[in-house]
Structure 1
Amino acid sequence: MSVSLLVLAVLVMGSVYNAPRALAARELAGEDAVTAMAVRHEKWMAAHGRTYKDEAEKARRLEIFRANAKLIDSFNAAGKKSHRLATNRFADLTDEEFRAARTGYKVPEAVVDGARSGRFRYENLSLADAPQSMDWRSMGAVTGVKDQGDCGTKLAHHLHDA
């Protein structure tokens, strides 16, 4: 009984003695991680030509970069996918900022209205019901023949017809 108490006392004393050192080591590691992330952010800024209007904006972007980098690093460390992620030119944007900047395609109202009207655009027909001929222009499926001119003018026709 006294031996087990002695062992317990030694273990308690050892943990009490080493606790401040372990805490200091964790704090130091935390400071090193913060510094390492700041250096990583600076390198990223240089690679992508990014500058900020002031230190407050830079600090805010660093926090966003840190969160995105942490997500990327944890994804890659898990190793569950056949691909890896990396920081790119969007690494200092929030999800909302990225969506607003990069996924802003607006569907034209005419297309939206056509979809809402419930019209059939396509339907399955048997060949027995198919007409002998059909003018797809009258159906709005294609436009008439046009002179596309020189190289590059074709784009203007496509944009106009869309």
Structure 2
Amino acid sequence: MSLRYILPLFFSLVGFLTAAAQPKARYLTPKVELGNVMWKVPALAHFEIRNTGNQPLLVTGVYTDCACTVAAWDKQPIAPGATTTLTVTLDAETLGTFDKSVYVTTNAENVARRLRFSGKVMQKVINYDRDFPHKIGDIRLSAENLEF
């Protein structure tokens, strides 16, 4: 074979092998619903990240969209097949609904991945479990049967 066939084949093979040996992040919980949160009580959102690649995955940065949220994560590389948890703490100082974002950068992607969490900050959280113990989807009922 001539050199003009061997050289492109060699570079194609090297490029394929380096592309195959990379970390890959899979976000198991891209959105977390916190529900009703007590006013002035910190709320926690947990996001799980799994390395589905064959090289160690490193979370290089976590950026929040406001000063009311703080993120904490393990700075150690995530082994292939392993999972880590990113914990975001919301300082619930403002009453009302919230929809916050956290942006995660890793050594697997050049772009930041957006993770979201939402809920409602209330002065008093009312628990309807005792009065309406039966739940069908998002609807709570006081009886098991519905007669029409």
**If the length of structure 2 is used for normalisation, what is the TM-score?**
0.23
**If the length of structure 1 is used for normalisation, what is the TM-score?**
0.22
Task: Between the two structures, name the one with larger relative contact order (CA 8 Å, sep ≥ 6).
Answer: 2
Q: Name the one with the larger strand percent.
A: 2
Q: Name the one with the larger helix percent.
A: 1
